[in-house]
Amino acid sequence: AKNNFLIEMFLMNEDEERLIYDYYGLDADSFRRKMDSLRAMKLEQYENLIANYELSDDARNIARASIDYIHYANMEIYPYMHKIRNNLDKIRELPRDFYAYRATLNANDNRLNYFRPYFNYIVAKINNLSYVHYMDDPGNDTEAIEKTLRSHIYKLHLVDSLMTDPGLKDNLYRNIAYIYFLSGRHPENDDKAFLEKFNALSKNPEHIERVNSLYASIRGLQPGKLLPAVALVSTQGDTVDMKDVHADANKVFYFWSLDQKNHIKNISDKVGELHKKYPSYRFIGININDDHKKWLKYINAFCLGTDSQFRTADDYGRLREKLVINNLNKVIITRGDGTIIDAFANIYNKELETVLETHHSGEGKQEAASRTDLVQR
* pLDDT tens-digit series, residues 26-61: 999 999 999 999 999 999 999 999 898 888 898 999
Which carries the bigger pLDDT value, residue 154 or residue 375? 154
- What is the bridge-based pairing of β-strands 282-287 and 251-256? parallel
Q: What are the tens digits of pLDDT across the range 225-260?
A: 999 999 999 999 999 999 999 988 999 999 999 999
Per-chain mean pLDDT for the chain: 90
DSSP run (H or E) holding 342: strand 340-346
SS3 332: strand
Q: What are the tens digits of pLDDT across the range 309-345?
A: 999 998 899 999 999 999 999 999 999 999 999 999 9
Burial letters for 337-374: b for 16+ Cβ neighbours within 10 Å, e otherwise?
ebebbbbbbebeeeebeebbeebbbeebeeebeebeeb
Angle at 367 between CA 362 and CA 240, to 5 degrees: 110
- Per-residue pLDDT at 139: 53
When pLDDT is cut at 50, 70 and 90, the band that residue 361 belongs to is low
Which carries the bigger pLDDT value, residue 177 or residue 142? 177
- Per-residue pLDDT at 26: 97
User: What span, in angstroms and rounded, lies between the C-alpha atoms of 247 and 282?
Assistant: 9
When pLDDT is cut at 50, 70 and 90, the band that residue 277 belongs to is very high
- Per-residue pLDDT at 322: 94
Angle at 68 between CA 65 and CA 72, to 5 degrees: 130
Q: What are the tens digits of pLDDT across the range 111-154?
A: 898 899 999 999 999 999 998 888 766 555 555 677 789 999 99
Q: Does 64 have pLDDT greater than 90?
A: yes
Q: Which residues contact 269 (CB under 8 A, 6 or more apart)?
A: none
User: What span, in angstroms and rounded, lies between the C-alpha atoms of 97 and 118?
Assistant: 22
Specify the CATH number of the domain 231-368: 3.40.30.10
User: What span, in angstroms and rounded, lies between the C-alpha atoms of 81 and 64?
Assistant: 26
Q: Does 79 have pLDDT greater than 80?
A: yes
DSSP-assigned states of every residue in 104-146: TS-TT-GGGTT-HHHHHHHHHHHHHHHHHHHTTSTT--HHHHH
User: What span, in angstroms and rounded, lies between the C-alpha atoms of 145 and 277?
Assistant: 34
Q: Which residues contact 116 (CB under 8 A, 6 or more apart)?
A: none
Q: Does 367 have pLDDT greater than 80?
A: no
Q: Which residues contact 257 (CB under 8 A, 6 or more apart)?
A: 263, 264, 287, 288, 289, 328
- Per-residue pLDDT at 360: 75
pTM for the structure as a whole: 0.84
Range in 176-190, 200-214, 350-364 the model is least confident about: 350-364
- Per-residue pLDDT at 359: 84
- Per-residue pLDDT at 98: 97
Q: Does 372 have pLDDT greater than 50?
A: no
Edge to edge, what strands does the sheet with 251-256 contain? 239-241, 231-234, 309-312, 282-287, 251-256, 330-334, 340-346
Q: Which residues contact 135 (CB under 8 A, 6 or more apart)?
A: 90, 91, 145
When pLDDT is cut at 50, 70 and 90, the band that residue 375 belongs to is very low
Q: Does 362 have pLDDT greater than 60?
A: no
Percent of the chain residues past pLDDT 90, beyond the cut: 73
Q: Does 185 have pLDDT greater than 70?
A: yes
Q: CA 21 → CA 70, 82, 186, 359, distances in Å?
A: 14, 9, 30, 40
Percent of the chain residues past pLDDT 70, beyond the cut: 93
- Name the residue ranges covered by the structural domains of the chain: 2-147, 231-368
- Per-residue pLDDT at 4: 85
Which residues lie across from 232 on neighbouring strands?
Answer: 240, 312
SS3 254: strand
